[in-house]
Copies of this chain bind each other. A is one copy, B any other.
């Protein structure tokens, strides 16, 4: 699962001037978040970097919170699809590895980390982050649904819980306990989630 900064292969949309402006502004927001974090990001920086006038930014995005929220919305409009390796074990491992890889390079991790940080300070950023991950994990559920069809997972398996369980140990270490993550840890998280699926731990009538 790519982090929210990753424009991804499907993100280049035809669009006219408006779409290009939006993408330029989004890129400037990502650069600003990566370089300065949310507390250091300013509308002035976005204006200078994107070449879009400050008054236009305020008129169309309302201000900093709106700019950050829109950058997240746009990040969610990529063409990313979850792995399809043919087995649930392979798919869960690939998902976990993608999370790990997204944050392995500090420069690449800076903007998505800044989005997570921004959500602590801005209710609008929090709403946008919630929507981003709801949609992103929603796409991931296909992995579990296919496994149920193949008979690799019990019917009624809570797909949303499974795909979150795979990523959770990585996100915990990245953003809460501040410990290193690596491919071995990703594989462990995937193996644990897989074992729990097989044992029926995700088939409770939750929600």
Contacts and interface: CB of A to CB of B under 8 A. Distances in A.
A198 B192 CA distance: 10
A169 B177 contact: no
B113 A120 contact: yes
Contact of A169 (B37, B39, B164, B176): B164
A117 interface: yes
25 contacts: A37-B120, A39-B121, A113-B120, A116-B120, A116-B175, A117-B117, A117-B121, A119-B178, A133-B176, A134-B179, A158-B188, A164-B169, A164-B173, A165-B168, A165-B189, A175-B176, A185-B206, A188-B201, A188-B204, A188-B206, A191-B196, A192-B202, A195-B200, A198-B199, A199-B199
Q: How many copies does the complex hold?
A: 2
A104 interface: no
Contacts of A193: 192, 196
A207 B187 CA distance: 13
A161 interface: yes
Contacts of A169: 161, 164-165, 168
A117 B134 CA distance: 21
A188 B185 CA distance: 21
A24 interface: no
A34 interface: no
